[in-house]
């Protein structure tokens, strides 16, 4: 029974396309995140949500639009994909903003 699950696991798409990644957590957590991991393994926070409300937006291009329909779900929609968007995107959740985060298995996005 996966705690934080995201789909799809792999995504290969052409430049200019629009794509979405979905995330769900069954831990009852209030806080959810999107992180981007580049080829050098650096994990950079993109967004955080608390109880469906956007709390942190780390100067991410507005082509990236997160949406939280309820506190168990946080989706990420990306418009007009660029080559530089290729990375692994991780969804995570935590009980609150002071506690450890639990990560999904990642979505490997390749833009060609």
Partner 1 sequence: QKEVEQDPGPLSVPEGAIVSLNCTYSNSAFQYFMWYRQYSRKGPELLMYTYSSGNKEDGRFTAQVDKSSKYISLFIRDSQPSDSATYLCAMITNYGGATNKLIFGTGTLLAVQP
The residues of the shown chain that bind partner 1, judged by CB under 8 A, are 4, 31, 33, 35, 40-45, 48, 50, 53, 55-56, 90, 92, 94, 96-106, 108
**CB of 45 or CB of 65, closer to partner 1:** 45
- Least Å distance, CB 10 to partner 1, is 10
**CB of 48 or CB of 75, closer to partner 1:** 48
CB within 8 Å of 62: residues ≥ 6 apart: none
- Least Å distance, CB 70 to partner 1, is 17
Residue among 40, 16, 25, 31 nearest 88 (CA):
40
**CB of 75 or CB of 94, closer to partner 1:** 94
Contact status, residue 108 vs residue 9, Cβ threshold 8 Å: yes
Token pair listed for 86: 């290729």
Contact status, residue 21 vs residue 7, Cβ threshold 8 Å: yes
- Least Å distance, CB 4 to partner 1, is 8
């Amino acid at each position: 029974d996966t705690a934080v699950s995201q789909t799809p696991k792999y995504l290969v798409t052409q430049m200019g396309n629009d794509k979405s990644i979905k995330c769900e957590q069954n831990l009852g957590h209030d806080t959810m995140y999107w992180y981007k991991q580049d080829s050098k393994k650096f994990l950079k926070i993109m967004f955080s949500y608390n109880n469906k409300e956007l709390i942190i937006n780390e100067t991410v291009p507005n082509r990236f639009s997160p949406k939280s329909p309820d506190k168990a779900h946080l989706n990420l929609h990306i418009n007009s994909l660029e080559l530089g968007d290729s990375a692994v995107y991780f969804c995570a959740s935590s009980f609150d903003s002071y506690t450890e985060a639990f990560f999904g298995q990642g979505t490997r996005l390749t833009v060609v």
